[in-house]
C-alpha cells in the first residue's frame, strides 16, 4: 500500500520516439533537443519546491530530466522499478494498435509485462521512493503516472515534462488528488495522444 505522504511527479522531457509516436518502454531513448529545453525551462518551477530527494527511473530520458531540473542539488536516487512498462515486441512500434485492448484486459505481451504486474511494480517503487527524506520528486514516465490512475480515480493526459503535486486522500475520501504545477511553454506530447513512455 502506498504511504499517505504527499509527493511531486515529473514526466521526462520529449524524445524522438515520443515525437514519432512509437512505444519506448524499457528501450533506453535519450531526450531530444526539445526535451532538454523543456527540462531546463521547468527547472525554476522545481527549484521553488521544498524537494529533499529526487527519485528517478534509471532510463536515460528520466534520469537526464531529473539532472536538468535539479538546480538545488538534491540527492538523486535511482530506483529501477520506476521504469516504464516493458512493452516487449511492441517497443519501437506504433503506439496505437489492437493489442492494447487485450493488454488492458489482462492479456500478455510477448517479451513484456502484464498490466497488473506493471501496476504492482510501480506502487512498490513509489513506496520505496517515499521512504526517502521528503518531500520527494519522482522523475519517471507517462506510464508510471498512468499506473497511479486507480489511486486518483481519473485519467490524466500527462504531457512530456509536466510537473504535478499529488496528495493523499483527505479524511473520509477514497482517492488521491493531483494538481498540475507547471508544463512546458512549447507544445508537448501527452499519453492519450497515442504516446506512451
Known catalytic residue: 26? Answer: no
Cell numbers describing residue 96: 496505437
**Residue 104: is it exposed, middle or buried by C-beta count within 10 angstroms (0-12/13-18/19+)?**
exposed
H or E element, residue 177: strand 177-182
From 14, 84, 91, 113, the catalytic residue: 84
H or E element, residue 119: helix 115-129
- Report the distance separating Cα 121 and Cα 94, nearest Å: 25
Check whether the bond before 135 is cis (ω within 30° of 0).
yes
From 12, 14, 91, 113, the catalytic residue: 12
Known catalytic residue: 12? Answer: yes
Closest-CA residue to 128 (of 65, 80, 167): 80
Q: Could you give the residue numbers annotated as active site?
A: 12, 84
Amino acid at each position: 500500500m502506498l504511504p499517505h505522504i504527499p509527493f511531486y511527479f515529473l514526466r521526462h522531457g520529449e524524445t524522438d520516439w515520443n515525437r514519432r509516436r512509437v512505444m519506448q518502454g524499457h528501450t533506453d531513448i535519450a531526450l531530444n533537443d526539445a526535451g532538454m529545453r523543456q527540462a531546463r525551462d521547468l527547472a525554476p518551477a522545481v527549484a521553488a519546491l521544498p524537494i529533499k530527494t529526487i527519485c528517478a527511473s534509471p532510463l536515460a530520458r528520466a534520469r537526464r530530466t531529473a539532472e536538468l531540473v535539479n538546480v538545488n542539488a538534491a540527492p538523486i536516487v535511482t530506483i529501477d522499478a520506476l521504469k516504464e512498462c516493458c512493452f516487449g515486441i511492441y517497443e519501437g512500434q506504433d503506439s496505437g494498435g489492437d493489442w492494447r485492448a487485450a493488454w488492458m484486459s489482462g492479456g500478455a505481451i510477448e517479451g513484456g509485462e502484464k498490466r497488473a504486474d506493471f501496476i504492482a511494480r510501480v506502487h512498490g517503487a513509489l513506496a520505496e521512493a517515499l521512504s526517502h527524506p521528503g518531500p520527494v520528486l519522482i522523475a519517471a514516465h507517462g506510464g508510471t503516472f498512468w499506473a497511479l490512475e486507480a489511486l486518483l480515480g481519473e485519467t490524466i493526459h500527462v504531457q512530456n515534462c509536466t510537473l504535478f503535486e499529488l496528495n493523499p486522500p483527505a479524511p473520509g475520501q477514497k482517492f488521491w488528488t493531483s494538481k498540475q504545477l507547471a508544463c512546458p511553454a512549447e507544445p508537448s506530447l501527452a499519453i492519450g495522444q497515442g504516446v506512451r513512455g
